[in-house]
Structure 1
């Protein structure tokens, strides 16, 4: 089976120019004018979460730009042979250590600006490629869980749930406890990391970079529900779409419907390198819907003539866009006022100690 990591075609990268970004006032006006009629569908990617301290997939020091990076593919993770168990040992050890920083990450100013646009009714539907749950965090307490599921579609799943290959599901915190109980030596190591702040480099899917580790010492627990049914089963995975895995039909169909229901498409913080998102942009264009993209650096869609693109960081403009669109509600509505005052700006450092918000900080 041949499965590859998606990327931006080299022809597009080679043709990428250095056209000047618009001024901030001009960008704010363009985005505000685009969104003002309402009923916009939004697609977001990993670039939206960079200011929350979550590293992007591509761009400078991005994991997917490293030619030596070898991800675990879906068919490897679910393999029921000893070889598959070895892949799960590697995956779950790294994810065990990498999940807490993602779990504890806070929404940034972009998450809250988009949440304000959703709350104000200008963006009824948001499709995110991110698995960190930060769009939900920005609206939790304002909308209940049913409303969040109705208005936010997690195209590639979520890190916050785990399921076995027989359909038993458990929340991630419980699964972390199972991993801790099965691996007391790694629990002590994780506690030491938290105490000293020496967290390994964490990637957007909760994976960490580890050197010189013997993964065969890590124990992947069996699913307790399967054991109650008389089988031993260690084939467990997060509810995240792996390379080589198909998006569930229900999610795929809804993603197309969300694009179709919107009058326009706003694409934020993504290179669209993953085809599951790129095809949604193409679908919108086929339906003659206007499309605007806000992203730093080249994207897979840059060669599409119908695409209108603004090359600026999301955090530079979206708060001001909200203020321009909601008017006095920015002050008078306590929910919007709090959202516009909320959000961290804490980008991760790259391997040279610089922040990663420069060109290509997107997913």
Structure 2
């Protein structure tokens, strides 16, 4: 259990500000069994993620992505919101926090009951055709993958972040990537890959949320990716206080007014109960 003084400090941070913007990262979903990208020192672990430009340019990169995703996605699809996700939904419903935006692509905030979530990096459960812009559920595309690659049905591998898996070899020579059933075009998960930028309209909305907020609460993010860290820089430049609930180092440690190094799924329910 977190001690009362720790919860008291965080509670006063929330009650002292009317519009607290919450930014979440992979650390809030580890309690749901979804691995994160970094260790407690903020160092990336595991293989290098697929880069967006390479995905669009090279068939081999797409085959690698879809082969690993075919094996890894079911683990992510089965993940359930944890107590941290549910506590944030409750805090929002009670008016204790304002807007919620996330770097995660797992959709667990919405499943926990949060509304109006701004997904900075998109949603892994949606797939788009880059040619005709048709949209599919990721579950539908999983069916295409199963049909085209029967030899891989039932394959298992160590889960990696965002539905990836440590598959060896990364893409068997016989693997077939999925294609759009309408036009035969290239399919891509509707997420922002590494090497790509957050879409301009989504970025504009996020910046407007930060501008409207009077404080920032970071939950489960090392902030090593600039798309999240920039909000801390904006808050600090505007004199808005920043608190964080995160296990380990963050890129913005020197900017924080308050930091709790504890699992979000443990701290956030205690915070909610404290404020009830």
Shorter-normalised TM-score: what interval? over 0.9
Query: 1:178, 1:59 → 2: CA distance?
Result: 35
- Give yes or no for the alignment of 1:47 onto 2:27: yes
Q: Give structure 1 regions of 4+ aligned residues with deviation exceeding 6 angstroms.
A: 60-63
Q: Pick closer, same or farther for the CA change 1:178–1:212 going to 2, 3 Å.
A: closer
Whether contact under 8 Å (1:28, 1:318) holds in the other structure is: no
Whether contact under 8 Å (1:46, 1:129) holds in the other structure is: yes
Whether contact under 8 Å (1:56, 1:62) holds in the other structure is: no
Q: 2:9: which partner in 1?
A: 30
Q: Pick closer, same or farther for the CA change 1:134–1:48 going to 2, 3 Å.
A: same
Structure 2 gaps of 5+ residues are none
Q: 2:50: which partner in 1?
A: 72
- Give yes or no for the alignment of 1:225 onto 2:204: no
Q: CA deviation at 1:269?
A: 0.8
Query: 1:211, 1:64 → 2: CA distance?
Result: 20
Correspondence list, 1:1-363, <5 A: 24-36=3-15, 37-59=17-39, 64-66=44-46, 69-79=47-57, 84-139=58-113, 148=115, 151-166=116-131, 167-187=133-153, 189-190=154-155, 199-212=156-169, 214-226=171-183, 232-233=184-185, 235-304=186-255, 307-326=257-276
Query: 2:134, 2:60 → 1: CA distance?
Result: 22
Deviations 1:35-90 (A, max 9, x none): 12432110011110111111111016999234xx33321111111xxxx1111111
Whether contact under 8 Å (1:272, 1:278) holds in the other structure is: yes
Query: 2:63, 2:41 → 1: CA distance?
Result: 25
Q: CA RMSD in A?
A: 2.1
Q: Pick closer, same or farther for the CA change 1:65–1:185 going to 2, 3 Å.
A: closer
Aligned residues: 274
Whether contact under 8 Å (2:41, 2:249) holds in the other structure is: no
Structure 1 gaps of 5+ residues are 1-21, 191-198, 227-231, 327-363
Q: CA deviation at 1:114?
A: 0.6
Whether contact under 8 Å (1:127, 1:153) holds in the other structure is: yes
Deviations 1:102-130 (A, max 9, x none): 11101111111111111112223111111
Query: 1:202, 1:214 → 2: CA distance?
Result: 16
Report which of the two has the higher share of strand: 2
Whether contact under 8 Å (1:96, 1:179) holds in the other structure is: yes
Q: Pick closer, same or farther for the CA change 1:263–1:224 going to 2, 3 Å.
A: same
> Rg: which structure is higher?
1
TM (normalized to structure 2)?
A: 0.93
